[in-house]
Chain A
Amino acid sequence: MSATLAELLRHPALWRGAGIVDAPVTVPTGFRRLDERLPGGGWPRSRLIEMLVPAAGVGEIRLLMPALRALSAARTAAPRWIAWLGPPHLPYAPALADAGLDPAHTLVIRPQARLDLLWAMEQALRSSACAAVLGWAAAVGDQALRRLSLAAAEGQSIGFLLRPSCHRSEASPAALRLLLTAGEKGLDIEILKSLGGVPSRIDSLPIH
């Protein structure tokens, strides 16, 4: 059966989406079950990642925390900052320190206008000063998303864009799109889009 399948898969007329992208450079998410589903085994570096949440606080930051810790602790000569753009509340320094993030490498940016936020996020991604840029925005146009993707690639930085889950059906150039919902025993993650991977679903990922 598997031999037949392998033979079938070798057929030149058969096109498979999974192989078109080279395995991306990644940073492990810190959650084995999630790593297994993501191409390259982690968050893709130099990419834009969209995370759709029903409400702020379902666990999106706890999901990112192991990766942020790894990025911020990476031994490079320059400080690789974690930038927080337009967060719903202020990041609490003692909690950052508890989680293993150096508060000294935290940059909080709170612009007044939405356009300023997208501009600032693009600058932060492009500057190559930030290891990761977390941005909270609701309505983001297709062109702005494209600009952010390009900026992430140029600055070799990971952009996490957190948006309300009502935007789940919109098309997006992000390399990875996740829909997060809080379940009974953990976080339910639906991978809506994954460049070089396949959409799938993870139920009750314990993140505490």
Chain B
Amino acid sequence: MSEARPATTTPVPAEFRRAPAPAACGAAPATAAVARELWLAAHFPQLPLEALLPMAGGARAAGLELHERRPAAEAALLDRLARWALQFTPAVSIEPPAALVAEVRGSLGLFGGAMALCRRAQAGLRAAGLRANVALAPTPRGALWLARAGIGIAAVRADAMPGLAARLPLACLAWPADVIGTLSALGIRNVADLARLPRDGFTRRFGPALQQELDEGLGRRRQPRRRHVVPERFDERLELPAETGSTAQLEPAAERLLAGLGAFLRARASGLSGLRVDLLHRERAPTRIRIGLTRPSGHEEHLRLLLRERLAQCRLPATVVALRFRSGVLLPLSLRDAGLFEQGRAADPEATARLLERLRARLGEDAVFGVCSVPEHRPERAWRIAEPGGTTPLPGHWPVSRPARPLWMLAEPQQLAGWDGVLVTGPERIETGWWDGHDVRRDYYVAMTRGGVRLWIFRERPPGQGWFLHGVFG
């Protein structure tokens, strides 16, 4: 028997390392030796635990707790991670039970080289509270081996894998325990030893599948991968670490879901038309918050501000146990180039929509509106409230030569008592509307008060009830 080998892999490196020469080169993969494909693998050694305690950031108990493993939660977490990884490349696939691989050769330029990309991936996963080992290699299985072994290096040359094989323990292959046991008994300690075995003998003894895996890992044979496809809608829920009755304490969880939503939108290159947030209670129907957007937006910061306003207004009928985010229809974002001669931030069509949404989130839908003209002779019907920015061109036959109208219109004509002003111009007779029962027969005058305020006042015809104030020329 060979000496005892720890079942788990080598310790996790604290920081990502560059692969030793000559097996790798750094940020400038321009030489001919650089592989045509480069695969980033991320292995999550503690995934079962992390899937069980999604919000375990601060409050993990000191004592031993026993929980049952939840494979569904693990799969869901892996799915989320795959979505997150789509920000680096469209070619991401899930490697059950606890790893991802992604082809990143085409993204190196964008992210500033292999090292920078790996560091960024690792930092992102660490920020999400996950323990992850990241590695980069010219074959997907090779990268996976490196990640499982906890060897955090970026190997970019096409022939890098055979050189690294001596550092890969058998455990990183994730082969059945009896196979590993037999190989250990044969004195085989690492993948390099394995690669030196005669092929036909190995195939006869362990089957063609394992030989094929070995060939794929060492780059002797290509391994086709199925791409991870993102679903059409975002629908996720997150259990809170503890029930809470205060909306302020919902924010960390909402933050985490928003980050997931942001990654989802980036992966789909889409914007959101609306978001539904459910605050789930234990024995009640959920409290629903709907956030409507006037323009499709993928702006995470904007969504965060909107949600914060809405949460602050929300009255909780009971304690909240979980949050659920559901996206509305996704719409492709229209990207816009800034003009050469436009100055500063003046021309940002998104700014208007964002302003409207923020105002409405806090003040209510009805407190923010636009106005538009209606072709109608009765002054109180010659306008209406409209959606801001809506255009209603006036018909061409509308008389433009009518006397001036006051800028302020009173909601209802107000009877004037004890009126002592001066009539400036008038009368303008408006007599119409007999066909719909709201007929008006009035003589309008412009009048000036002692304080110098110009008013628009009228007298009913025939005269009787005195003067009414209808508008103020501001």
Contact = CB atoms under 8 A, between A and B. Distances in A.
A91 B352 CA distance: 20
Contacts of B3: none
A156 to B, nearest CB: 6
A135 B222 CA distance: 68
Given A57-B454, A57-B472, A104-B370, A129 B352 contact: yes
A91 B388 contact: no
Given A57-B454, A78-B349, A93 B408 contact: no
Interface string A80-95: 1100000111111111
Contact of B363 (A78, A89, A116): A116
Interface residues of A, number: 51
Contacts of B185: none
Contacts of B369: 107-108
A92 B471 contact: yes
Contact of B368 (A89, A103, A108, A183): A108
B368 A109 contact: yes
Contacts of B269: none
A51 B258 CA distance: 43
Nearest to B400: A98
A95 B346 contact: no
A93 B351 contact: no
A78 B347 contact: yes
B286 to A, nearest CB: 28
A110 B363 CA distance: 8
Interface stretch (B55-63, B134-142, B208-216, B390-398): B390-398
A103 B389 CA distance: 8
A78 B339 CA distance: 12
B344 A156 contact: yes
A37 interface: no
A18 to B, nearest CB: 28
A104 B359 contact: no
Contacts of A80: 346
Interface stretch (A1-9, A119-127, A190-198): A119-127
Contacts of B471: 89, 92
Interface string B182-220: 000000000000000000000000000000000000000
B69 to A, nearest CB: 48
B404 A95 contact: yes
A116 B359 CA distance: 9
B283 interface: no
B345 interface: yes
B349 A93 contact: no
A104 B390 contact: yes
Contacts of B409: 89-90, 92, 95
A182 interface: yes
A96 B370 contact: no
Contact of A128 (B339, B346, B367, B410): B346
B46 interface: no
Contacts of B346: 76, 78, 80, 128, 156
Contacts of A206: none
B312 interface: no
B368 to A, nearest CB: 5
B455 to A, nearest CB: 8
A59 B474 contact: yes
Interface in A51-104: 54-62, 76-81, 87-99, 103-104
A94 B355 contact: no
Contacts of A81: 352, 388
Contacts of B342: 76-77
B373 interface: yes
A107 B411 contact: no
Contact of A77 (B347, B368, B454): B347
B175 interface: no
Contact of B407 (A77, A95, A116, A156): A95
8 interchain residue pairs of minimum CB distance: A182-B452, A61-B474, A89-B408, A93-B383, A77-B347, A127-B355, A92-B409, A57-B453
Interface of B: 339, 342, 344-349, 351-352, 354-356, 358-359, 362-363, 367-374, 379, 382-384, 386, 388-392, 394, 404-411, 451-455, 471-474
Given A116-B363, A182-B452, 8 more contacts: A57-B473, A78-B349, A88-B472, A92-B405, A93-B382, A94-B405, A111-B367, A128-B345
